[in-house]
Chain A
Amino acid sequence: GAVVSQHPSWVICKSGTSVKIECRSLDFQATTMFWYRQFPKQSLMLMATSNEGSKATYEQGVEKDKFLINHASLTLSTLTVTSAHPEDSSFYICSARTRRDPSYNEQFFGPGTRLTVL
């Protein structure tokens, strides 16, 4: 149980175009999902917290107009990279939160999406 999927797993796009990445919780409902970014040989950095039915909360330094997040249902959150540039090339990972353990909010992670902007 608690499987999270991402689509696509790999995307290449031209500079200036927009790219949408989907994150789905397959066998559970997630009112909260998270989007992370991972540069090569670096740690995962939290970009934003996505809440179903409300606006996302962005971490300091993350451009909300560039990284649009929509959490339209309890099983789907999308991240749209608008007007992508080569510096946006990265590995994007989502996670979905559950409350199976009352002690803490456990996150289940998707497999990630590798974005390459040419």
Chain B
Amino acid sequence: EVQLVESGGGLVQPGGSLKLSCAASGFTFSDSPIHWVRQASGKGLEWVGRIRSKANSYATAFAASVKGRFTISRDDSKNTAYLQMNSLKTEDTAVYYCTRAITGTRGFDLWGQGTMVTVSS
């Protein structure tokens, strides 16, 4: 089955860190750009960042709101991408989705079920 499955969400204090995982199956993960998108409760969607494939030097890019605090990596041997979140703020509280982009586009055609991150003291 073609799918993405996120894990690693939870409750963390402001200033803390958390690492999310995105496990892929059913498609050639190593060729696929992976993006992270988040959604605060009752709010709209917000792009977080992306990592490209090895062929594109694993290049990463991030939204201004998380630049310098979040990093994205991937382990193609494990078909898994990661979102490392540091210096977390209460406004980072959201459901975090990993998504696959259609090659050559920014259309996200495959989404995980999401994992909840709560930043609170």
> Do A and B make up one complex?
no
Residue numbers of B with Cβ under 8 A of A are: none
